[in-house]
Each structure stands twice: as structure tokens, then as C-alpha cells.
Structure 1
């Protein structure tokens, strides 16, 4: 495999594990403000991000490449409101999409067709991730300061299963 593509994939493993940390931090925020449905939703999201990291991990090893397990950065997000938490998640999903696109660009440049095929799954997944994060922002924005509606939404999002 092309060294640049391998390096970017290795970096992405770390970014996906960081994503899991970020979502655990958001889950913790919702637990602390007594919204267990949101906390559960973001905990499931954290598990999904770990699965994404492991897909890349396995892909690298299956292609006889080394996997660099670097230190995961500390989550430094100071959340104040449910809307701020949802916006942070949405911002992060857009960032991850951009990072996946950078890897795809490198794979195209290297004519690494196998990695391009592999990355197609992530591109489709990111479309879904961005849609879900945007929907969460929109729903919370629609509620404004209505605590009763937020409570009902908490019950709805808490039904998400891993």
C-alpha cells in the first residue's frame, strides 16, 4: 500500500477512537443533567465509533500493514446545554467526513482501488452520521427551552439500540 494512504488510515484509527471518547464525554454530560435517553444515545454512538476504528485497524492488518496505536487526546469540551452538546457532535461529524475524504483523495492519487472500495463504506456511513447529528440539532432547536418536550425527546432517543 501507498505510505501516505497507510499513514492517513493509521491517523484515522486514532481519530475514530477519539470520536468514541468525545461521545462518551457527551454521554456523561447528559447523565449529569438527568437526561438518560440522550446519554444512552451518545453511548451507543461511542460504541459505533470504536467499531469504525476497528474496521480500519483490521483493514490495515489484513493488508500486511502496521497499526500505530497512538495516544488518544483528552476530550476538552465544556458543555453547558443539550443544544451545545448536539452542535459539538455535529461539528465533529463534519470534521470526520473531511478526514475520510482526505484519505479517499490520497487513495485516488495513489490509484489504490482496494482502499477506495473500502472507504466507500465510510463515505456512506458519514452521510448517515451527518444526517443524524443534524437531525439532533434541529430537534433540540425546535424545542427551545420547553423542558417537557425535551423530556419526551429524551425518551424517544433513549430507545436507540447498539
Structure 2
């Protein structure tokens, strides 16, 4: 049986993943309004990934006999100074999520819940990838600046991203 503290942490994470989806949809709308359909696509795919993560955690809780607790989803930021600022927000957000995931992993180990630890390990690895990609995009946008030709190129590159359900 899963302990209450771990069940709460996983429920909080399930809700945080849904907030992440909401945040990335907001960022997608921001990029779309600026005319960057490829960047908007990248954020829309990111939102779908976050929904998949949240649903995966939700299902895990149910498998462990826990009723997930649903929380309010706060409104995300809707406007930014620049595309670079958006991706800096992405990096900060992903670092925050990494901290949350790491706390769950530590809690699972402390409670000797090896099933939960095995489950959350996938997210630990996923966050390494998420942060690396965000760092790469922050670096690219810092180099691009307001160069229209380079913005066009990265917009075209990010348009190619497609959602693949990881589960």
C-alpha cells in the first residue's frame, strides 16, 4: 500500500503536469499570435506531452488504490518580452519540475516504496532530457536575437516536431 505522503506528492505532481500543459498552451498561443506557427507547434506538442505525463501519473495512482486529488489550475502567464524570454521561462519551469520529481523519488526511497521509485525513475530521466532541450533552445534564441532570417529558420525547424505518446 502506498503511504499518504507519497500519494499526496504524486497527486500534486499529476496536477502540476496538467498546469504545465496549460502553461505550454499559453506559450503556443503567444508564439502563434506573433506569427511563429512552428514555435507554436513546438509548444503545442510540449503541452500534449505534459497531458500524457499527468494522465500516466493519474493512472498509476488508481492502480495503487489511490483516488487522485484534483486541484485548481491557475492561469499561466500569457505575454512575454520576447521569444527568448519565453524559452527562459520554459527552462526555469522545467528546473522546478525536476525538483518536484526528485523530491518524489527521494520520498519513495525514504518510504521504501520500490514500486513508486521504479515508476518515478522514468520521470527523473525525462527531466534530464527536458532541461537539456530547454537549455539548447535558450542558447539558440540568445544567439538569434531579433534576426528575422534566423527566426524564420528556427521556426521552420520547430514546426517539424510531432507528438509521440511516451506510454
Provide the aligned length of Structure 1 versus Structure 2.
162
User: 1 CA distance for matches of 2:103 and 2:57?
Assistant: 15
Note the residue ranges of structure 1 that are not aligned, 5 or more in a row.
none
User: 2 CA distance for matches of 1:72 and 1:144?
Assistant: 33
User: 1 CA distance for matches of 2:88 and 2:24?
Assistant: 12
Deviation, 1:70, is 1.4
1:114 to 2:115 alignment: yes
Shift >4 Å, 4+ stretches = none
Aligned to 2:76: 75
Deviation, 1:80, is 1.9
1:144 to 2:155 alignment: no
Of residues 71-80 and 17-26 in structure 1, the stretch that sits farther from structure 2 once superposed is 71-80
Note the residue ranges of structure 2 that are not aligned, 5 or more in a row.
none
Aligned to 2:32: 31
User: 1 CA distance for matches of 2:101 and 2:58?
Assistant: 15
* Aligned Cα root-mean-square deviation (Å): 0.8
The DSSP-based 3-state class of the residue aligned with 1:40 is helix
Give the alignment's TM-score, normalised by structure 1. 0.98
1:58 to 2:59 alignment: yes
User: 2 CA distance for matches of 1:92 and 1:3?
Assistant: 26
Deviation, 1:77, is 4.7
